[in-house]
């Protein structure tokens, strides 16, 4: 059974004024309703790590993977309590040089500054059973940088996150979903087990584990739109 891998960024009250990527900020009430829908339909929300046996077809069951990109503090504040309430696990892909920092890569594009989780928040996230994934050092567009720099961004991010959690970091998300065959090889050689893109469909057993598709959930998605993404 194909598995939906949901992609969120920020969970917060969106700013009133128009700004780039405002659609990436999902209201906390909408997030709670979406988790309630998953529960009502009999889905278990799982981190990528916990969902791998289902994605690979070794286990069967109604599973939706919950992922967040960029490691925002508002996910800790607004999504983590909801995940705990529903008994769901999730993956957050952290930008290793912005731990306790902010979305420095977005700000030049006109996006409002938003803080990223601190090391102690990341440790708490992990201690509650959620997965710490890697999203490079600086949120670079990997195909646009030399291979050596791409390797540094991928390898050192894993080292920094492993130092914080004291546990292996095995999941990676390509910033902007931008990747290619050469980058998949670098990610595998760096010791990761899986990587996600932003190709829009549900994951299937035949998928390359270093190119797993994801479904982006946006601010204006209606409940029907959300369910379609999960089910179709």
When asked if residue 131 is in the footprint of Zn ion (CB under 5 A), the reply is no
Q: Note whether 45 and 86 are within 8 A (CB).
A: yes
Our CB check for Zn ion shows the closer of 54 and 93 to be 93
Nearer to Zn ion, 49 or 139 (CB): 139
Alpha-carbon gap, residue 142 to 211, rounded angstroms: 14
Distant-in-sequence, close-in-space partners of 179: CB < 8 Å, separation ≥ 6:
142, 143, 195, 197, 211
Backbone phi, psi, residue 63, to 5°: -130, 135
CB of 218 to Zn ion, least distance (A): 15
Per-residue x/- marks for Zn ion, 67-106, CB under 5 A?
--xx------------------------------------
Q: Does 207 bind Zn ion (CB under 5 A)?
A: no
Chain positions 174 to 193 lying near Zn ion, rule: CB under 5 A, are 175
Which residue number is nearest to Zn ion in terms of Cβ?
A: 69
8 Å CB contact between 190 and 155? yes
Using CB under 5 A, which of the segments 15-23, 45-53, 62-70, 218-226 binds Zn ion? 62-70
Pairing of strands 63-70, 25-26: unpaired
Query: To the nearest whole angstrom, how small is the minimum distance from the Cβ of residue 224 to Zn ion?
Result: 27
Strand 25-26 relative to strand 10-11: parallel, antiparallel, unpaired?
Answer: parallel
- What is the contact surface with Zn ion in residues (CB under 5 A)? 69-70, 175
């Amino acid at each position: 059974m194909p598995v939906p891998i949901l992609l969120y960024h920020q969970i917060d009250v969106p700013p009133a004024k128009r700004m780039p990527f405002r659609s990436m900020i999902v209201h906390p009430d909408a997030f709670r309703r979406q988790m309630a829908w998953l529960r009502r339909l009999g889905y278990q929300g799982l981190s990528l790590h916990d969902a791998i046996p289902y994605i690979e077809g070794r286990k069967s069951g109604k599973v939706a993977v919950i992922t967040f990109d960029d490691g925002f503090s508002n996910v800790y504040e607004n999504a983590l309590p909801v995940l705990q309430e529903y008994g769901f696990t999730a993956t957050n892909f952290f930008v290793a040089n912005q731990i306790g920092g902010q979305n420095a890569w977005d700000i030049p594009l006109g996006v409002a500054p938003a803080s990223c989780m601190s090391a102690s928040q990341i440790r708490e996230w992990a201690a509650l059973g959620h997965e710490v994934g890697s999203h490079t050092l600086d949120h670079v567009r990997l195909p646009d940088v030399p291979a050596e720099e791409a390797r540094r961004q991928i390898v050192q991010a894993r080292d920094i996150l492993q130092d914080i959690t004291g546990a292996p970091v095995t999941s990676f998300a390509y910033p902007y979903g931008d990747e290619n065959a050469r980058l998949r090889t670098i990610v595998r050689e760096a010791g990761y087990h899986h990587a996600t893109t932003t190709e829009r469909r549900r994951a299937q057993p035949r998928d390359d584990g270093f190119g797993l598709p994801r479904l982006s959930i946006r601010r204006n998605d209606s409940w029907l739109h959300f369910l379609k993404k999960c089910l179709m």
